[in-house]
A and B are shown apart, each in its own frame.
Chain A
Amino acid sequence: MIKARITVTLKNGVLDPQGKAIEHALSGLGFDGVGQVRQGKVFDVELAGSDKAKAEADLKAMCEKLLANTVIENYSVQIA
């Protein structure tokens, strides 16, 4: 079995009001020097088989078709 982690983040230039709110909350907790905070998503996906090249191609297709909205988000795939 292959285990993979997909990370989806907002593209640069896309406003992230949730990240902004988190940024302010961290400052409010007394953490000095907090710069920009951007919120994203992580998906841990298990895949049958052992062909890592095929898994990577499939995982990228999953990102393109569902897991990321490529209008506003980037994604990266890491295979363990």
Chain B
Amino acid sequence: MKSAVVLLPGLNRDRDMIAALTKISGKAPVTVWQTDTEIPDVDLIAIPGGFSFGDYLRCGAIAARSPVIRAVAEKAAKGVMVVGVCNGFQILLEAGLLPGALMRNASLKFVCREVKLQIANANTMFTRRYQPGQIIRSPVAHHDGNYFADAETLARIEGEGQVVFRYAEGTNPNGSINDIAGIISSKGNVLGLMPHPENLIEDAHGGRDGRALFEGALGIAA
């Protein structure tokens, strides 16, 4: 299985994502730059975290209008798996590939800590290696992770099982509605989440809870 990592000015978790995909799949991902209009044939495209374009205007807003994200949208429409982490999640929302918006944390503070996540839907390509309802550990590091959607959208994504990760055990770090930490597209191939599973994939990280997400997406045996 092949993967690609999107590079944009201001992202800073790109090397973490590349390292995680390389270690888990045994193959380095290809990288695509902001001005690229085509993405090679891959099975998974990852948009890492950071501060693309300095978070100007709104987090992810400028990146979402860049050529490479239009190319990501074309691939997503063809069913290619896409995962956006942190700023990558913000970009997917701004690009309209996922519903809702991410706003300033309710505390107004940047949060950098570990949270507990509940697997709210284990029936996706990304979560199939977890158990339904399983609680996993994950780092978070963000200032704008406060998920919001209007009542109608919220009812729809809750009803369709599009909420995939929820902050658990009182660890909601940002005020997200319904403790939402990650959602998936209605077709099930585009995932966005605020936590950083790529930063908890080996013992040197202090745990491997994030590894199964990539193993599931890439179809790699644990």
1/0 per residue, CB under 8 A from A, across B108-143: the answer is: 100000000000000000000000000000000000
Chain B residues within 8 Å of chain A by Cβ, number: 20
What A residues does B148 contact at CB under 8 A?
Answer: 14-15, 71-72
Please report which residues of chain A, range 52-80, place their CB below 8 angstroms from some CB of chain B when the two chains form the complex: 65-67, 69, 71-72
Is chain B's interface secondary structure helix, strand, loop, or mixed overall?
A: loop
Is chain A's interface secondary structure helix, strand, loop, or mixed overall?
A: helix
Q: In the complex where A69-B61, A69-B94 touch, is A18 in contact with B150 (Cβ < 8 A)?
A: no
A9 to B146, CA, bound (A): 18
Whether B108 pairs with A69 at a CB distance below 8 angstroms is: no
Whether B65 pairs with A69 at a CB distance below 8 angstroms is: no
Nearest B residue (CB) for A41 = B57
Q: Which residue, of B94, B100, B101, has the highest number of chain A Cβ atoms within 10 A?
A: B101
Is B70 located at the chain interface by the 8 A CB criterion? no
Chain A residues within 8 Å of chain B by Cβ, number: 11
Whether B108 pairs with A72 at a CB distance below 8 angstroms is: no
What A residues does B146 contact at CB under 8 A?
Answer: 15, 17
A21 to B105, CA, bound (A): 12
Whether B175 pairs with A69 at a CB distance below 8 angstroms is: no
Q: List 13 A-B contacts (CB under 8 A).
A: A15-B103, A15-B106, A15-B146, A17-B146, A17-B175, A18-B108, A21-B108, A66-B65, A69-B61, A71-B99, A71-B100, A71-B148, A72-B148
